[in-house]
Amino acid sequence: MFERLTERLQKVVRDLRGLGSITEENVQGALREVRMALLEADVHYETAKTFVSGVKEKALGTKVEGGVSPGQVFIKAVYDELVTLLGKEQRDFELAARPAGVMMIGLHGSGKTTTTGKLARTWVAEGKKVVVAACDIRRPAAVEQLATLAASAGATCVRPEPGEGVSAVGRRALEVARKGMADIVLYDTGGRFQMDEELVAELKELRAAVAPKNVVLVLDAAIGQESVNVAKTFHEALGLTGLILTKLDGDARGGAALSVVAVTGVPVLRVGVGEGQGDLEAFHPDRMAGRILGMGDVVSLVEKVQQSVDQKEAARMEETLRRKEGMNLEDLLAQMRQVRKLGSIGKLMEMIPGLSSVPMELRDQAEREGGARMKKTEAIILSMTPKERRHPGLLDARRKKRIAAGSGTQVSDINELLRQFKQMQQMTKRMRKLGRLGMMRGMMGRGGGPGF
Ligand SMILES: Nc1nc2c(ncn2[C@@H]2O[C@H](COP(=O)(O)OP(=O)(O)O)[C@@H](O)[C@H]2O)c(=O)[nH]1
Ligand SMILES: [Mg+2]
């Protein structure tokens, strides 16, 4: 459902490539694309509007620096806004009361009974005493299903007695829980293939009988946009306190989550990720946003770069570019350490979409070779005197021999480093000249910088 959004965003990133900054004008088109994609995915008009203005504000307010492109900054803004829309923080059940009531409702086959079993299991494992009530009284098989799950979870199951109605079963389960000093009562209810008045009346009666603090809608994520209507109707009729999205192990990309949370404002408490009893997870708005965007881990990469390129170093690099004699070996050392701060090379490759598919062995190899080379270079530079680092021209055969001995390397290693360094130095000198030219061109209104 959100493949289109991903596609559009990738195009947006391509279009923003090469720009030096994000401005009101150049981001206009990108914002339009995002809005269209959201509307196409059936996101409510108002929600899309709020979303887009949030993205705009964030993107314009972010400085583009430290090796991050405007496209990446834009994606990051979209991502942040998605996280906000999805509820920002992880939320949980209201379990302060004793016993705390949790009413599980939803359409037929959405996963109510399975999820009731999963929850019981988690809570029992946390040392809580749990009672489950089989309030799906019309189908004997449903009662058996719950009883089996409860037994394996270590929870007490209250079954309907002949002639007993839904709310009577609920009331009796609550009584059992009170007497047994249980911590939690879970009410597993019946569903329909569609919402109807009879179901609503039945659920309302149960809710009135047991007054649970939690009324949780179990939603099959695979039903897509239909889930928005289902959630809206249930919310209006019964006042939901939380959502559980099931079957997220399938193809559903989380678009349903986005729309449902946006439309109802009800938080997602858990997600079902499989048929097994252990397949229930906490809901992390940030991870879901990443999943909706389907963009590898560009976002954490952007965050990492922004955090680690500290202001002082950025200023230092700028200063280097302004210096007439270009960069020196001290600058090189500082830059290498900056790169190192980003973490391992293998990890960085993993975070970049496209590079993440590079086989593990190759990533490891890059890691080893890159790491070993950086270490060697660092050792060589550290064996120099400060004066030598600032004026590499001083390095004659005698000095090189001394440095090689001090750093455990060969004179040939030092020559290799100096050769590469010369190339870098020439490049920074060229950048300096072009930079000035570029600025002049810019001032004369002909536009276009050097394109670095
Ligand atoms: N793949 C997958 N299947 C699930 C998940 N949750 C429930 N199911 C399956 O969905 C079907 C219906 O579940 P059930 O709990 O009986 O639904 P109910 O009618 O709402 O009580 C069962 O076959 C479950 O195994 C999930 O998170 N992932
Ligand atoms: Mg059921």
C-beta separation of 243 from 266 below 8 A? yes
DSSP 308-351: HS-HHHHHHHHHHHHSTT---HHHHHHHHHHHHHT--HHHHHHH
- Report the largest interatomic distance among the alpha carbons of the chain, rounded to a whole angstrom: 102
Please list the ranges in the chain whose pLDDT falls under 70.
1-6, 9, 13, 17-18, 41-44, 64-67, 224-225, 250-257, 291-292, 294-314, 317-318, 321, 338-363, 431-452
SS3 78: helix
Sequence-ordered strand ranges (E) for 25-126: 100-105
Give whole-number Cα distances, 70 to 174, 291, 314, in Å. 57, 21, 17
- Ligand 1 near 191 CB (within 6 A): yes
Domain map (residue ranges) of the chain: 3-89, 100-283, 309-443
**Dihedral, CA of residue 158, residue 162, residue 165 and residue 166, to nearest 10:** 30
Ligand at shortest distance from the CA of 246: 1
Ligand 1 center–CA 32 separation, angstroms:
39
Handedness of CA 292, 293, 295, 299 (dihedral sign): negative
Cβ neighbors of 258 (< 8 A, separation 6 or more) are 2, 41, 43, 82, 85, 86, 288, 292
Superfamily of domain 100-283: P-loop containing nucleotide triphosphate hydrolases (3.40.50.300)
Let me know how long the chain is: 452
Neighbours of 20 (CB within 10 A): 11
Please give the model's pTM, rounded to 2 decimal places. 0.65
Sequence-ordered strand ranges (E) for 179-322: 184-189, 214-220, 242-246, 268-272, 280-282
Q: According to the CATH classification, is domain 3-89 in 1.20.120.140?
A: yes
Out of 114, 199, 244, mutate this one to test ligand 1's pocket (max ligand atoms within 8 Å of CB): namely 114
Can you give the C-alpha Rg of the chain in angstroms? Answer: 30
CATH of region 309-443: 1.10.260.30
Please give the pLDDT value at position 294: 62
Ligand at shortest distance from the CA of 117: 1
Q: Among the atoms of ligand 1, which is closest to the Cα of residue 108?
A: 19
Ligand 2 center–CA 188 separation, angstroms:
7
Ligand 1 center–CA 65 separation, angstroms:
47
Out of 275, 277, 283, mutate this one to test ligand 1's pocket (max ligand atoms within 8 Å of CB): namely 275
Residues with CB under 5 A from ligand 2 (ion): 112-113, 142
- Ligand 1 near 275 CB (within 6 A): yes
Give whole-number Cα distances, 227 to 29, 39, 107, 150, 280, in Å. 31, 16, 10, 28, 19
Please give the pLDDT value at position 346: 60
- Ligand 1 near 110 CB (within 6 A): yes
Please give the pLDDT value at position 445: 33
